[in-house]
Structure 1
Amino acid sequence: MPHKLDAGMVEIRKQWSSGNRRSARKLCTKLMSEYPDHGDLHQINGLIYNENGQIAEAVKSLENACNTPDPKPVYFTDLAAILGNAGYEQQAKTVLYAAVQRFPVDGKAHLQLGILQTRGMGARSAIPHLKRAIALSPTDWTSWSAMGATLMSLDDIQSAMNHFGKALQYAQNDRNQQAISDIKISIGECHKELGNVDDACALFESVLKIEPANIRAWYCLTLIRKVSETHPAWSAICDIYQSGEYQKMSPSTQEMLLFSIGKVEMQRKNPDAAMKAIHEANFVKRQTITYSQSAIENTLDHVRDCFPKERFAHLEPISNGDENAQHIFIVGMPRSGTTLTEQILSSHPEVFGAGELDAMPHHHHALIEHKVKNGSDRQDVMKYDDDFIRILGQAYRTETIGCIRRIQTANGDHTEAQRIVDKLPSNFTRVGLLALMLPNTRIIHCRRHPMASCFSIYNRRFGGVQNFAYDQRDLGHYYNTYERFMDHWRDVLPADRFIEVDYEDIVENLDVEARRLIAFIGLPWNDACLSFHKTERQIRTHSALEVRKPIYRSSLKGWEPYIDHLGPLRETLGLDKSGEHLNIERRKVS
């Protein structure tokens, strides 16, 4: 490196680290005019622009760095980080794909790509990159932790815990306290989903003992335990909230703080304070997502038109004598009783509750893209012809059976399940595909009072994609669209393949509804289904702790104290203040 350039780089870094960004950038610009192909100059110029919030200029400078004759992997990872943080995740992935092809032994590029893929529907494709990152840097806690998070998103909780354990070991070796706390919280989340509440709480409390203002630990604790206002961390959390200091934090941290404040205030029976925090939490979240009411209407209208009643005319009556395990799908809105219904069914010794599998949406979207990539017209593919449905059914069943066998082997369980339950609520958008893709498939539609279901959604922070959930009018519109969509399946599907169960009916008359469910899936009655709260199994939803308790009725009208704060939702749903439909035709359909 020429002496002048070397000295100039030292001075740029000195000025930048001292906070003199303008001087640093001025010197950078001067040197770039003399050394236009020097990547480090373009890189540091882009990072300075990024610190100033000039994202477009930052991206341009880092693109220039990547296009220099001798680029470094860090140029690509810096560019991807800036794009990802600005919300351009697809563009960030494109940059990282280029990086791992050009620099296949750069662990950071593989790690960053794996983390980005895990955020969306690409968690499966993240695994090879994270494995590569671990192989390249086996003592780097970030790669082990990222793999743990990915495995957790795929419901492989035990493997996730193993990876988080390795991450914790290496973070402790590095004496990185922030990493140690974050990993302990992740392990606590795993314990929570396995039903180990005391172990989870102990981990969250251990973090809060050292860091009383750790918002993530506090949020996780409030999800699983009623927290007293005398808790040592409460004053620290309140100080952050009341001072407005949280508004300088990342949106995800703001959401955790505000939703947790809302939950505690709900427990303290302070509706005004609770809804103030919950409204703000939803507002913060809504600013980070894109949602179109017309888009969901158009999508569901298209699906409905693809599956008229004639498409189901050839279906034979359900046969309970099938030698293969039969599939049960539980669908509905979030917070409509799907987890409770699955827990009742899964308490039967011949039923395997698989939880919220991503197999169906994964293969659904993958098959569409595969056919389009191989020359089919997208609109033709999305008419879902018989060939599409057959291939989808085969792919779904192969993966599901394999997944269940792996789980059973890990648990030392060698029983042969007669029924497999997949309770991903959003599969309601695929009911027509579900009914046709495998023999003897049954679908259970869970319903709940619209106000109860929607309020329960509105006061929670979801980890997955629930973009309709964070605005009262969006939420009400989505519910109305969903309800009209489900009317179609009620009209066209045979009664032995599709039933509906109301959450309120299960709560009020568990014995009758549980027997009805078991009869529907074609199995002999077993009394264990009435003691569903004693069944030990992994549960990954907001209802994980609720279904480990006997039936309780307090949630039936839990929305009533908050009705004055739910005007836009109530009006969109067409309900009066008592929760009754203003339009008599939209009252409960039996």
Structure 2
Amino acid sequence: MSDTPDTRIATLRTLLAADPDRPDDWYDLGLLLKRARRYEEALEAYAEALKRNVERPEEVWLNRAVIHAEALGDPEQAAAELEKAIALNPNYASAWLNLGNLNEDRGAREEARRAYAKARAADPQDAMALMRLAEVTTFKSVDDPMIAGMRQMAAHPSVPAIGRADLNFTLGKVLDALEEYDAAWEAYAAGNAATIEMAKGPYDERAVEKEIDGLIETFGDRGDPAPPSETAPIFILGMFRSGSTLAERILAAHSAVTAGGELEHLPALIGDHLQPYPKAAAGLDALRHAELREAYLAGVRRQKFPLAGLTDKRPDNFLHIGLIKRLFPSAKIVHTVRDPMDNGLSIYFAHLHPSMRYAQRLESIAHWYRHYERLMDHWRGLYGDDILDFSYDALVADPKPQIRRLLDFLDLPFEDACLRPHAVTGVVRTASSWQVREPLYRRSSGRWHNYEQQLAPLREALGRG
């Protein structure tokens, strides 16, 4: 029998059925079920581990909190379980960090700052704790001791690449806000260099070109879509850092819309049912597309979201518009766009996962951008009436007509609340969570001019002279 996650889960269940008083095995079962996205079962396994007096129960409460926060969309329950972890171990830095993240997500800056300060006190050598504390601190001067502390820790030879990346990206953000642009660029460059160290190989231009070719070939026409459904999510997508979070917040202010955030359901569906992708998606009939749609909807129901008016905001879903439209033929696509120079700068300044290998070098950002444009041109050729290019720059220059255009596209009546996306309450779990809580502003439009000299390779690679 092959050693797969399912077989390991089955083996542990057999073992525990015969001898249930094995708390460590209940804990391991919880981990496996979580990775398999069987979240309710994972919570039950963790509960058994706790009932049977597992060692370091605070770790179990933390793992349960992560499921509630990230998979089940229940930040209140996540916070309650983190409090249980902290009650057991007041110096548990990871629990304090996660509690700080939850407070950030809901816009509670001071509560987040206190939690991060506790994490920092619990582990003064933790780069993440210092970075997160700095993220929620307002700096008045480049001479602030915390800035010196970040520089010192980032330069220490014992700090691993992830810590150096964390610290340098935050340093860059702080120095940029203080208008110390040359120093900010140096910090961001160091952060990207550290991220490259963690990547499993360099950015592969040819592989990217083949990936886009494969998508265009597989989804060369409309295919045999699932039967139309009464409702479909609103898919918000585009390049990272192109304004997708702001678009979702504008819609979240509308009485008929529910913000889903960065839902995992489409990538999970592809990973579980359509490998190798996109080849496995070729030639499917309407019945199979309907079955795949049901797999997506099962995830929505698990999170207790309504489908009508639900937004699914994952920027990189631009890769999957062909699949989206075969599962949900009536789906509307909000494609966020932004000046390519500002977009490229913002990607370079974003602390993205090392697997996003295009993001750490200006030339690879430009290469990825050009092929993203090629793919979007293909999707427009197939589904142009159902795709709205929603411009961040036009929005911040003159919000009302752009918001009205967005709502008209979605067949929603205009509501004045959509002009005040910063007033929307609720969880925001993206890198721009603080920016979208401010009133609409224009300072990020044209921001690239602060770094015009450093961005020459990007401008040249984009063919902009």
Do they superpose with TM above 0.5?
Answer: yes
Match of 1:514, SS? helix
Structure 2 CA distance for aligned equivalents of residues 117 and 562 of structure 1:
46
State the Cα distance separating 1:92 from its structure 2 match: 12
Match of 2:236, SS? strand
State the Cα distance separating 1:350 from its structure 2 match: 0.8
Q: Structure 1, residues 457-478: CA drift from partner, whole Å, max 9, x if none? A: 2112135953332233322221
> Residues 328, 470 of structure 1: CA spacing in aligned structure 2 closer, same or farther, 3 A cutoff?
same
Match of 2:303, SS? helix
State the Cα distance separating 1:135 from its structure 2 match: 4.4
> Residues 282, 150 of structure 1: CA spacing in aligned structure 2 closer, same or farther, 3 A cutoff?
farther
Matched, 1:217 2:134: no
Equivalent residue for 2:331?
A: 441
Match for residue 396 of structure 1 among 296, 311, 328 = 296
Equivalent residue for 1:289?
A: 199
Letter in 2 for 1:149: V
The sequence identity of aligned pairs, in percent, is 25
Matched, 1:538 2:456: no
Within 5 A, what are the aligned runs for 1:210-359?
214-228=126-140, 229=142, 231-241=144-154, 244-245=155-156, 247-290=157-200, 291-309=203-221, 311=223, 324-359=230-265
> Residues 475, 93 of structure 1: CA spacing in aligned structure 2 closer, same or farther, 3 A cutoff?
farther
> Residues 279, 379 of structure 1: CA spacing in aligned structure 2 closer, same or farther, 3 A cutoff?
closer
Match of 1:329, SS? strand
Equivalent residue for 2:371?
A: 481
Contact 2:223 2:283 in 1 (8 A): no
> Residues 107, 550 of structure 1: CA spacing in aligned structure 2 closer, same or farther, 3 A cutoff?
same
Structure 1 CA distance for aligned equivalents of residues 222 and 278 of structure 2:
21
Equivalent residue for 1:192?
A: 104
Structure 1 CA distance for aligned equivalents of residues 58 and 89 of structure 2:
6
Structure 2 CA distance for aligned equivalents of residues 518 and 482 of structure 1:
25
What is the CA RMSD across the aligned residues, in angstroms? 3.3
Structure 2 CA distance for aligned equivalents of residues 99 and 251 of structure 1:
37
Match of 2:452, SS? helix
Letter in 1 for 2:151: C
Match of 1:457, SS? helix
Match of 2:304, SS? helix
State the Cα distance separating 1:114 from its structure 2 match: 5.8
Higher-Rg structure is 1
Match of 1:524, SS? coil
Letter in 1 for 2:288: F
Structure 2 CA distance for aligned equivalents of residues 230 and 504 of structure 1:
34
Q: Which runs of 5+ in 2 are unaligned?
A: none
> Residues 195, 468 of structure 1: CA spacing in aligned structure 2 closer, same or farther, 3 A cutoff?
same
> Residues 532, 440 of structure 1: CA spacing in aligned structure 2 closer, same or farther, 3 A cutoff?
same
State the Cα distance separating 1:257 from its structure 2 match: 1.5
Contact 2:236 2:335 in 1 (8 A): yes
Q: Structure 1, residues 493-525: CA drift from partner, whole Å, max 9, x if none? A: 141x21111110111111001011111111211
Matched, 1:143 2:80: no
Equivalent residue for 1:510?
A: 399
Q: Structure 1, residues 72-91: CA drift from partner, whole Å, max 9, x if none? A: xxxxxxxxxxxxxxxxxxx9
Structure 1 CA distance for aligned equivalents of residues 158 and 211 of structure 2:
37
> Residues 117, 235 of structure 1: CA spacing in aligned structure 2 closer, same or farther, 3 A cutoff?
farther
Contact 1:331 1:424 in 2 (8 A): yes
Q: Structure 1, residues 427-455: CA drift from partner, whole Å, max 9, x if none? A: 11110111221252111111111121121
Equivalent residue for 2:356?
A: 466
Match for residue 454 of structure 1 among 334, 344, 350 = 344
Equivalent residue for 1:526?
A: 415
Letter in 2 for 1:269: E
> Residues 358, 251 of structure 1: CA spacing in aligned structure 2 closer, same or farther, 3 A cutoff?
same
Q: Which runs of 5+ in 1 are unaligned?
A: 1-90, 373-377, 406-415, 577-590
State the Cα distance separating 1:293 from its structure 2 match: 2.8
State the Cα distance separating 1:199 from its structure 2 match: 1.2
Match for residue 563 of structure 1 among 441, 452, 457 = 452
State the Cα distance separating 1:530 from its structure 2 match: 0.8
State the Cα distance separating 1:563 from its structure 2 match: 2.8
Match of 2:443, SS? coil
Contact 2:215 2:278 in 1 (8 A): no
Match of 1:205, SS? helix
Structure 2 CA distance for aligned equivalents of residues 132 and 294 of structure 1:
49
Letter in 1 for 2:99: I
Q: TM-score, normalised by structure 1?
A: 0.69
Letter in 1 for 2:430: T
> Residues 255, 113 of structure 1: CA spacing in aligned structure 2 closer, same or farther, 3 A cutoff?
farther
Q: Structure 1, residues 230-254: CA drift from partner, whole Å, max 9, x if none? A: 555344333324xx31x32222212
State the Cα distance separating 1:100 from its structure 2 match: 4.5
Q: TM-score, normalised by structure 2?
A: 0.86
Structure 1 CA distance for aligned equivalents of residues 381 and 294 of structure 2:
27
Letter in 1 for 2:150: I
Equivalent residue for 2:282?
A: 383
Matched, 1:152 2:69: yes
State the Cα distance separating 1:403 from its structure 2 match: 1.8
> Residues 310, 148 of structure 1: CA spacing in aligned structure 2 closer, same or farther, 3 A cutoff?
closer
Equivalent residue for 1:550?
A: 439
Q: How many residues align?
A: 451
Equivalent residue for 2:271?
A: 365
Letter in 1 for 2:394: D
Match for residue 429 of structure 1 among 298, 313, 319 = 319
Match of 1:381, SS? helix
Contact 1:309 1:493 in 2 (8 A): no
Structure 2 CA distance for aligned equivalents of residues 330 and 464 of structure 1:
23
